Structure 1
Amino acid sequence: MAKKLFYLLFLAVACSPSATTVKTDLQNTRPAWLSANPQQSGYYIGRGQGIKDGTNNYIQAAKKSAFEDLISEIKVTVSSSSVLTQIDANKEFQEKYEQIIQTTAADDIQEFEQVDSWEDEKTYWVYYRLSRERYRQIKDEQKRNAITLGMDFFVKAKQADRSGEPVQALAFYYQGFRALEKYLAEPIRIDFEGKEILLTNEIIASMQFILEKIQLTANPSEIMLNRRMVQNDQTVLVTALDKASKKPVTDLPLRAAFEKGAGDVFPDYKTGQNGQIKVLLTKIGSRDIEQKIGVTVNMLSFAGDQPSPVYALVSSKMVTPKAVILMKVQRPLVYLSSIEKSLGTDKSNQQLTNRVKNYLANAGFEFTEQKDKAELWVDINSNSEKGAQSGSIFITYVTAVIRVSTVKDNKEIYATTLDRVKGYSLDYERSSQEAYNKSLETLEKEKLPELLNAILQ
C-alpha cells in the first residue's frame, strides 16, 4: 500500500506544470550560434530572425533575414588594374558599384544550406551557411561563360567599327559589357590579335573612342522664340557626322533635354539616313529670357527599356558628343481689362484681377496699358448677387467670366466661368466678400493653371 501511494505521489509531481517547464527548458536550450556569430572555416555564415507578432510570416521573415546576412559576408574586391580604378579617381563610383553588386548578389547564390533553427515564444531564428569553395567554383564557371560571350560581342563590335558602322559597333560593345558587368572589379586578361588586353577596359575605351569620332551640330544653334509656341515656326535640326569622313551617322540614338530653363521637349530620337533629327519643342515653361536645350548621344538606349544600374553608372562617366541650342525667349505682352462688382457696385479692391495679374507676372508675362501694343488681351468681368437669408445667415453668389484673346485678330484662346460661388456671413456685404474669397481659391487651384497652359500652346 505504501509503495502504491509513493508511486501516485511521484506521478502527480512529474505531471505538475513546474516539472513540464523544466523538461521544456532542457529540450529548448538556446543554441550557441545565437550567442556569438558562428565561425566555420570554409563557409559563409548567415543568421536571421522573425518576430512572432501575429502580423507576418515569421518563418519567411527569418529566412529572408538570414539570406541577406549571408550575402553581406561576400565582399567585392576591386583590383588596382580594373576598369573601376581607371574611371574612378575618388572611389565614389567604386562604392556605388560595390553596393549594386551586393544588392544583385542574391541572383548568384546557389546551394546554401540551413544548418539549424530555433524558436521561443517571441522569436524564430534560422542559421544558413554556404561553402566558400563551392561558391568559388560556381562563380568561376559563370565568369568563364561570361568571358566567352563578352569576347564574342567584342570581336563583332571591332568588325562593325572597322566597317564604318559605329552605331552597330556601340550596340555590340554594349552586349559585351552587359555580359561582363559583374566582373568590372577584376582585370580580365585576354589575347586579342597578338596582344594582351584587359577586356572590360578595352570595351569601355572602344565605346568612348567611337563617341569621340562623332560630331553633333545644331542648325540654327541660336533662335528667338515666343513663349507662346503657336507663334513659333522655326525648325531646329541636329546632324550627326563622322568627324573625319563627314559622312552622316544613321540610326544614332539621341536625347534632348533642357539644360537651362524648363519646358516640354520630345526626348528620344534616332537619326535618319541623312544623320539628322528635328527637335520637337512643345512648351516653354520657364520665365527665363535665355534658355538652353542640349542634345546628346543616348547611351542608355542601347540597353533597351531597363538598363542595368551598373551600365547606367558606367555610361554616365562617358563623354558624349553634344549639340546645344540657345533660345532667346520673348515674354508675351498682355493688356488687362476688368470690371469687378459687389452687389452691383464697383469693388475698390479688384481681387480676381490682381490675382490673375500676379500669376501671369510670376510666369514671365509683361503688361502694357496700351492695347494696340499687346499680344494678348485678358478680360475679367465679375459681380455678386444676393441669395437667400436664413435667420442671421446671409447668402451671396459670385459669378465671374475670364476671357483671353489675341489682340491682332481678336481670336479667343481661353474662356472660363466661375459660376455662382456661394458665400455665407452675417450680412450681405460680408457674405459677398466671403464668396469672392472662395472664388479666389477656385481661381488659383483650377482656372489659372488652365489659362496658362492654353496661352502657352
Structure 2
Amino acid sequence: MINKKSLLISMMIGLCLTLLAKKPDWIMEKPLNPEYVISIEMSHKSEENYRELAHQAAAINIADFFEITDSLSIQKLSPKIEIVKEWESKKEYWIYCRLSKLEFYRNMLIEQSDDYYIGFGECSKTTPDYLEIAKQKALSEISSQINVAVSGEVVNRVIEQSGIVKEDFFSQIQMKTQSQLEGIEVVKILETDDRYWIFYKLSKQLYEAQQQKIISDAIEHSLDFYNEAKSDENKNKIASAISNYIKSLQELEHVLNKPLIIEISNEDIYLDNKIYTSLQNLLNNIKFETNQEKLVLKSGKPGKVILLSTFNNKPIENLKINFITEKGSSEVSDYSISDANGEVILLFPDPKSDVQLHFIKGFINVNDYCEIDSLSIIVPIINSLINPEIRFEVLVEGLSFYMESVEKVENVESKGKIIEPIIKDYFISKGHKFVVDKNSAELLVRIVANSAKGSGAMGFVTSTTNATLSIVEVESSNEILKKTVNRIKGVSNNIEGATNKSFEKAARKLIEELEY
C-alpha cells in the first residue's frame, strides 16, 4: 500500500520538474529589437562542449545577417557578440545572443579608417528634417578628419594680428571642405521607430585626387586674375588692379588649408602670399595731396576741396575715395571718384563755422572693389591691408554781419537794447562776427520790434511784443531771410519789467525760428 505522504511528495517533485522544464518566453517567441541582430540557439547537453557549439551557431547566424561567410571573420566577430540570457533543461542548453547593428557598422568602418574617412550621423525622428540633420552630422565628422592647416605666412599673420579665433577660421575652412566632398559612399542606413542612423565613408585616395584637381584649378584661375592685376598696374589702371588682386585671392578661398606653392622666376613661392604682398605694395604707392595751400570755406556757402590722387606720381582715374569728418559739424560728401587728371572733388554742401577748424579724413576702402560675403574667410585678410589715406584741415570762416535794430515801447524807440545783444550772441556762437562798418559787412541783420501794454490784474501787468528779423545781402541789397513773431507776452509787477521780459522772449522765439 502506497504511503499517502510519499505520494504527495512525489507529485510535488514531478510538478516542480515540469515547471522547471518549461521553456522561457524568449525561446518560445523570438524577441524583436530593430537595433540588434538576435540569435537564439540550442545545443544538446549530451554533446561535448555544448556551450561552445551553441555560441558558434549564434555567431554564424549573426554573421550571416551581415553577409560574413569566411571562418576567420566569423571568429573575429564572435567575441563582440553579447550573451543576454542562457537557459538549460536536463537535456538542452539554450543561449540568447545579440549584436548591435550600430556598433557593428561603426567598428567595421573604424577598421577601414586607414583607407577611408568615415562618418556617423544620427538624429531623433521627432526632430524636423531629421534625415538632413543626420546626413550633415556624418559629413561634418568626415570633414573634421581632413587635416586643416594654413600654409601661407601672410594668412597666419592675419590670424594672429586681427584677433580672429583660429578655431573659428579653421571651422570656416572645414565648412568649405565639407561643401566640396564628392564620392561619398553610403555604407548603411539604420532606423527604428524613433531614431535614424546613417554611415558614410570616403576613399582617402579618391579625395586626394579630387583635391589635387581642385587646387590645380584654383591656382590656374587665381593666376589669371593675378596676371590681369599686374597688367592693370603697369597700365596705371589702379581701380581695376585692386579688383583683380582681390578676385585672385577669392579664387583661393576654399584651398587656403593647402600649400599653394608655385614657381615664379625659378623660385618656389606661396601664391596667396605673393598676391597679398603685391596688393599691399600697390596700395602703399597710392598718394593723396591737396592742390591748395590754404583750405578755407565760408559758413553757409557750398564749397569744395580738390585732392590729387597719384600712383607712382601718375594721376589715377576712376578711384573711389571715401570721406568722413573726424572733427567738426559740417557734413561732407560720402565719397568721390577721381577724374582723368586724378582730381578728387570733396563737396561741402553747407559748411558750418560753429567749429572753425574741421578735420577731414579721406581713404580707400578695398572692400569697395569687390563683392565678398561678409562671412567669407577672405574678409579678415582684406581688412588687414593698410589702406592709403589722407588727413587735412579745412577752415570754415564765419560771415561778417552789420546790425541795425529798432526796439520801441508804445511806438517810441527805447534807449536800451534787449533783443539786439541776444541775437548777436547767437550769431557769434555760430562762428560769425559783427563789424562796425556796414560797407565791410557781407550781411545786414535788421531787427524791428515794438511792445505795447496789455491788461493787468492782481498787481501784475502784461506787455506784448511783435518783432521781425531780416537778413539782407549788403552788396546786392537782396533780402535772403525774414522771420516774424507776434504777440509775445511778458508779465511783471511793473510795466518796465513786463516789457523787458516780452522783448527777451521775442528774441528767443526769433532764434527758434532761425534754428528751424
Question: Compared with structure 1, are the counterparts of its residues 90 and 318 closer, same or farther at alpha carbon in structure 2 (3 Å cutoff)?
Answer: closer
- Aligned residue-pair number: 368
Q: Which amino acid aligns with 2:366?
A: M
Q: Which amino acid aligns with 1:382?
A: A
Question: What residue number does 1:272 align with?
Answer: 339
Q: 1:222 aligns with which of 291, 294, 299?
A: 294
Question: Compared with structure 1, are the counterparts of its residues 204 and 81 closer, same or farther at alpha carbon in structure 2 (3 Å cutoff)?
Answer: closer
For the pair shown, which has the larger CA radius of gyration, 1 or 2? 2
Q: Which amino acid aligns with 2:285?
A: K
Deviations 1:210-230 (A, max 9, x none): 122333332124334333536
**Are 2:433 and 1:366 equivalent residues in the alignment?**
yes
Q: Which amino acid aligns with 2:514?
A: L
Higher relative CO (Cα under 8 Å, sequence separation at least 6) belongs to 1
- The question of whether the paired residues in 2 share the 8 Å contact of 1:221 and 1:325 is answered with no
| TM-score, normalised relative to structure 1 | 0.58
2:262 aligned counterpart, secondary structure? strand
- The question of whether the paired residues in 2 share the 8 Å contact of 1:418 and 1:439 is answered with yes
RMSD: 5.8
Q: Which amino acid aligns with 1:366?
A: K
Question: Compared with structure 1, are the counterparts of its residues 174 and 371 closer, same or farther at alpha carbon in structure 2 (3 Å cutoff)?
Answer: same
How far apart are the structure 2 equivalents of 1:97 and 1:384?
77
How far apart are the structure 2 equivalents of 1:132 and 1:213?
52
Question: Compared with structure 1, are the counterparts of its residues 210 and 428 closer, same or farther at alpha carbon in structure 2 (3 Å cutoff)?
Answer: same
- The question of whether the paired residues in 2 share the 8 Å contact of 1:334 and 1:378 is answered with yes
Question: Compared with structure 1, are the counterparts of its residues 152 and 372 closer, same or farther at alpha carbon in structure 2 (3 Å cutoff)?
Answer: same
Question: What residue number does 2:328 align with?
Answer: 261
Question: Compared with structure 1, are the counterparts of its residues 368 and 248 closer, same or farther at alpha carbon in structure 2 (3 Å cutoff)?
Answer: closer
Q: Which amino acid aligns with 1:160?
A: D
**Are 2:309 and 1:240 equivalent residues in the alignment?**
yes
How far apart are the structure 1 equivalents of 2:412 and 2:226?
81
1:158 aligned counterpart, secondary structure? helix
Question: Compared with structure 1, are the counterparts of its residues 241 and 388 closer, same or farther at alpha carbon in structure 2 (3 Å cutoff)?
Answer: same
Q: 1:338 aligns with which of 379, 387, 405?
A: 405
Q: Quick one: percent identity of the two aligned structures?
A: 22
How far apart are the structure 1 equivalents of 2:495 and 2:259?
85
Point out where structure 1 has 5 or more consecutive residues left out of the alignment. 1-40, 48-58, 60-66, 119-126, 451-457
1:283 aligned counterpart, secondary structure? coil
Question: What residue number does 1:448 align with?
Answer: 514
**Are 2:424 and 1:357 equivalent residues in the alignment?**
yes
Q: Which amino acid aligns with 1:254?
A: I
How far apart are the structure 2 equivalents of 1:147 and 1:200?
9
Question: Compared with structure 1, are the counterparts of its residues 290 and 434 closer, same or farther at alpha carbon in structure 2 (3 Å cutoff)?
Answer: closer
- What does 1:54-453 correspond to in 2, within 5 Å? 83-87=154-158, 91-92=162-163, 94=164, 150=222, 152-162=224-234, 164-178=236-250, 186=257, 189-193=260-264, 195-229=267-301, 236-243=305-312, 246-303=313-370, 308=374, 315=382, 317-341=384-408, 352-385=419-452, 398-420=465-487, 439=506, 442-445=509-512, 447-449=513-515
Point out where structure 2 has 5 or more consecutive residues left out of the alignment. 1-117, 129-135, 182-190
Q: Which amino acid aligns with 2:284?
A: E
Question: Compared with structure 1, are the counterparts of its residues 328 and 432 closer, same or farther at alpha carbon in structure 2 (3 Å cutoff)?
Answer: closer
How far apart are the structure 2 equivalents of 1:109 and 1:351?
77
How far apart are the structure 1 equivalents of 2:283 and 2:504?
59
Deviations 1:344-366 (A, max 9, x none): 57679866444432322222122
- The question of whether the paired residues in 2 share the 8 Å contact of 1:83 and 1:187 is answered with no
- The question of whether the paired residues in 2 share the 8 Å contact of 1:343 and 1:432 is answered with no
- The question of whether the paired residues in 2 share the 8 Å contact of 1:256 and 1:265 is answered with yes
Q: Which of 401-410 and 418-427 deviates more?
A: 418-427
TM-aligned CA deviation for residue 302 of structure 1: 0.9
| TM-score, normalised relative to structure 2 | 0.52
Question: Compared with structure 1, are the counterparts of its residues 165 and 433 closer, same or farther at alpha carbon in structure 2 (3 Å cutoff)?
Answer: same
How far apart are the structure 1 equivalents of 2:368 and 2:436?
51
Q: Which of 192-201 and 215-224 deviates more?
A: 192-201
- The question of whether the paired residues in 1 share the 8 Å contact of 2:418 and 2:500 is answered with no
Q: Which amino acid aligns with 1:189?
A: L
How far apart are the structure 2 equivalents of 1:45 and 1:202?
44
TM-aligned CA deviation for residue 415 of structure 1: 1.5
- The question of whether the paired residues in 2 share the 8 Å contact of 1:220 and 1:325 is answered with no
- The question of whether the paired residues in 2 share the 8 Å contact of 1:359 and 1:448 is answered with no
How far apart are the structure 2 equivalents of 1:46 and 1:419?
78
Q: Which amino acid aligns with 2:157?
A: Q
Q: Which of 398-407 and 419-428 deviates more?
A: 419-428
- The question of whether the paired residues in 1 share the 8 Å contact of 2:159 and 2:166 is answered with no
TM-aligned CA deviation for residue 237 of structure 1: 3.6
How far apart are the structure 2 equivalents of 1:349 and 1:129?
95
Question: Compared with structure 1, are the counterparts of its residues 333 and 286 closer, same or farther at alpha carbon in structure 2 (3 Å cutoff)?
Answer: closer
